[in-house]
Amino acid sequence: MVCMYADDTAILAKHNNPNFIHLALTKHLQTLEVWFRKWKIELNVSKTESIIFSKCRNNSKFRPPKIKNKSIDWSQECKYLGVILDRKLSWKPHFIYIKNKFRDVTRKFFPLISRNSKMSRENQTLIYASYLRPVLTYACPVWGYASNYNLKILATKQNIIIRNICNAKFYMKNRDIYRALDFPTFNSFITKLATNFFKNLDDHDNLAIQNITKYTPDPKIKRPRNILL
């Protein structure tokens, strides 16, 4: 369960019993209200969101948190640091959002990477890797364990661009194009990014990161590091 604020401050509470979650959030929010009054900070309650991550279809049994005696109703999804979190963490709403954002950014570069472009293939590939691919892969260590069906939403967008750059015919297979171009597929690239992320996280010199509880992957549980590493 997470409470979201307009300035991207988050409060996270985790427990199997929803009553304990409600108590923890209530206590923390009361402490925050005292701190806000002390430092004369006004909180915009209308821009505050709460979401509960659960497979339960009915959220009505979970009591929503309150701020200034106003209940913050549960949201089906919310945006945090550029990532859309849905209630079941399927990541599909985020992928659809990124797909539309990628489409808008691609329009600006389309004259350079279209099939009729006079630019060399190497430069076209460099443009995609430098300006367009980061839009698709942003925060991939977080959502990289999503189902292949949902990941395909983003992978397809890359395939279309790569086929345009290579002026590929309809009968050419994507795997052959990537092999000839010596360019990583979408899934292999996000796997590499996630691998480096987790390795660097273990050796990071930031004290806050060092104090995070070490996560040991369990092969029986579907978690990001199991899927990506």
Q: What is the pLDDT of residues 107-152, one digit of tens each?
A: 999 999 988 889 999 999 999 999 999 999 999 988 988 888 999 9
Query: Model confidence at 4, in pLDDT bands (50, 70, 90)?
Result: very low
65 has a pLDDT exceeding 50: yes
Residue 223 confidence (pLDDT): 67
Task: For residue 23, give the H/E element and its range.
Answer: helix 18-38
Regarding predicted confidence, which is higher, 47 or 188?
188
Q: Is the pLDDT of residue 5 over 50?
A: no
Distance CA(24)–CA(13), nearest Å, equals 7
Return the CA Rg of the chain: 22
pLDDT at 62: 77
Distance between CA 196 and CA 202 in Å, rounded? 10
Q: What is the pLDDT of residue 134?
A: 96
Q: What's the pLDDT score for residue 107?
A: 94
The share of the chain scoring above pLDDT 70, in percent, equals 90
Q: Are 74 and 59 in contact (CB under 8 A)?
A: yes
Query: What pTM did the predictor assign?
Result: 0.84
pLDDT for residue 40 = 84
Could you identify the residue written with the tokens 């950014």?
A: 105
In this structure, how many other beta carbons lie within 10 angstroms of the beta carbon of residue 22? 18
pLDDT value at position 59? 66
Residue that the structure tokens 């709403």 belong to: 93
Does position 29 have pLDDT exceeding 80, yes or no? yes
pLDDT of residue 182: 93
Distances in whole angstroms, Cα of residue 38 to Cα of each of 15, 28, 42: 30, 15, 11
Cα separations in angstroms, 159 against 50, 162, 194: 36, 5, 21
Question: Which one is predicted more confidently, 195 or 135?
Answer: 135
Q: Looking at residue 53, what is its pLDDT?
A: 86
Which of 29-38, 160-169, 201-210 has the highest average model confidence (pLDDT)? 160-169
Q: Which long-range contacts (CB under 8 A, 24 or more apart) does 34-43 make?
A: 43/5, 43/67, 43/68
N residues, the chain: 229
Ranges of H-type helices in 128-185: 133-137, 140-143, 148-166, 174-181
